[in-house]
Amino acid sequence: MGKPVIGITMGDPAGIGPEIIGKILLNKNINRICVPLVIGDKRFFVVGANGRSPLCKINIIDLKNADPKKIPVGKISAQAGKASIEYIDKAVELIRKGDIQAMVTAPINKESVSLAGLKFPGHTEYLAHLTKTKKFAMMLAGGKIRVVLVTTHMALRDVARNITADKIYEKISIANAGLTKWFGKKKPLIAVCSLNPHGGEGGLFGGEEAEFIEPAIKKAKKENIRVEGPFASDTLFVKANQGMYDAVIVMYHDQGLIPLKMASFGNAVNITLGLPFIRTSVDHGTAFDIAGKGIAGTGSMEAAIKLATQMVKSMAHRA
């Protein structure tokens, strides 16, 4: 196959999305492996590239929906939120038509999109809504570690009552399918974290392992999924960081993201599993505090584009 066309949404115009995209696309490395197609507003890229306009270097679908005179950089606004939603909508339209082979998203701001009327927690849930996807999962990848979250953005005190055997099994199943379809793993090996310290110590520190996690693992094994656990996360991630597992199922956000970011801070990638297309994203937010200053790092966005390209090629190779 030729170079895949990768759609890149600009994200919140007031954030660091335009800057990091502009910087990357002034670099020839990305253009060697794929055809990047930006979905955004041209006017933000002169600012976004810290004064160096990349417009002659990139393909862009200009929605002309974000006026820099009306959207202050680094500030929450309904107009910026509305624009960022429209970039997502357009990218989904393009991927459905076959004009792009994967979607890479710069960060949106939850408050801005909420002001614009979008009542979803974030990108992942909105994409699931647009595609009528009922079962999906958030995977983050960096270095040799891939983590899949059972619960995502919720208070720690709410985690225990929000994990069930069905939810854990669902994430194991989705992870197995995603690793097989998009990462070329014929029989991926998945590990599952316990919720409690030392795996609950036989019930001394909690019963969630016996009540929910172990039954989910048994069910997955009956489906011929290679899965092990539950393991205490403090020792499991030593092995995961050595590449012993293709993915680790974690019960809550920080259980997985702390070791992941210790291993690959600034270069990790967010992947949505379960969608009918490839979607990767950065592992950070809009960073309003540094937006417009020309100092935002590009590592995660570059990694997201490269991984999306690899996933497209992996699928094409097996087709």
Domain that holds residue 221: 136-265
pLDDT score of 48: 45
Is the pTM value of this prediction over 0.85? Answer: yes
Q: Is 141 helix (H, G, I), strand (E, B) or coil?
A: strand
Quick one: which H or E segment has residue 296?
Answer: none
Residue 286 inside a domain? The answer is: yes
Residue showing tokens 């379960």: 274
Q: Are 124 and 145 found together in one domain?
A: no
Highest mean pLDDT among 57-66, 119-128, 212-221: 212-221
Q: d(Cα 251, Cα 200) in Å, to the nearest integer?
A: 14
| 104/25 same-domain check | yes
CB neighbours of residue 227 within 10 Å: 24
If asked whether residues 158 and 125 sit together in one domain, one would say no
pLDDT digits (tens, 9 = 90+) for 302-311: 999 999 999 9
Do 3 and 127 lie in a common domain? Answer: yes
pLDDT for 121 equals 79
Residue 11 φ/ψ region, left for φ over 0, alpha for ψ in the -120 to 50 degree band, beta for the rest:
left
Position 58 scores a pLDDT of 72
For the chain, the domain total comes to 2
Least confident stretch, 16-30, 131-145, 248-262: 16-30
Tell me how crowded residue 295 is: count the other CB atoms within 10 A of its CB: 11
157 occurs within a structural domain: yes
Q: How many CB atoms lie within 10 A of CB 266?
A: 14
Tell me, yes or no, whether 25 and 92 share the same domain: yes
- Tens digits of residue pLDDT in 179-232: 999 998 999 999 999 999 876 567 667 688 899 999 999 999 999 999 999 999
User: Residue 173's pLDDT is what?
Assistant: 98
* Same domain for 309 and 214: no
Domain identity same for 189 and 163: yes
Instruction: Report d(CA 274, CA 278) in Å as an integer.
Output: 9
Q: Show Cβ contacts of residue 29 under 8 Å, excluding neighbours closer than 6 positions.
A: 302
DSSP 199-251: GGGGGTT-SHIIIIIHHHHHHHHHTT-EEEEEE-HHHHHHHHTTT--SEEEES
The reply to whether 296 and 253 lie within a common domain is no
Helices 233-240, 253-264: inter-axial angle, 10-degree rounding = 40
pLDDT above 90 for 87: yes
Residues 239 and 120 in one domain: no
CA–CA separation, 121 and 153 (whole Å): 9
**Based on the domain organization, do 236 and 155 belong to the same domain?**
yes
Tokens coding 28: 């020839």
Instruction: Say if 297 falls within a structural domain.
Output: yes
Say if residue 287 is in the same domain as residue 200.
no
In this structure, what CATH number is given to the domain that contains residue 148? 3.40.718.10
**Looking at the domain assignment, is residue 238 inside a domain?**
yes
Question: 53 lies in a domain?
Answer: yes
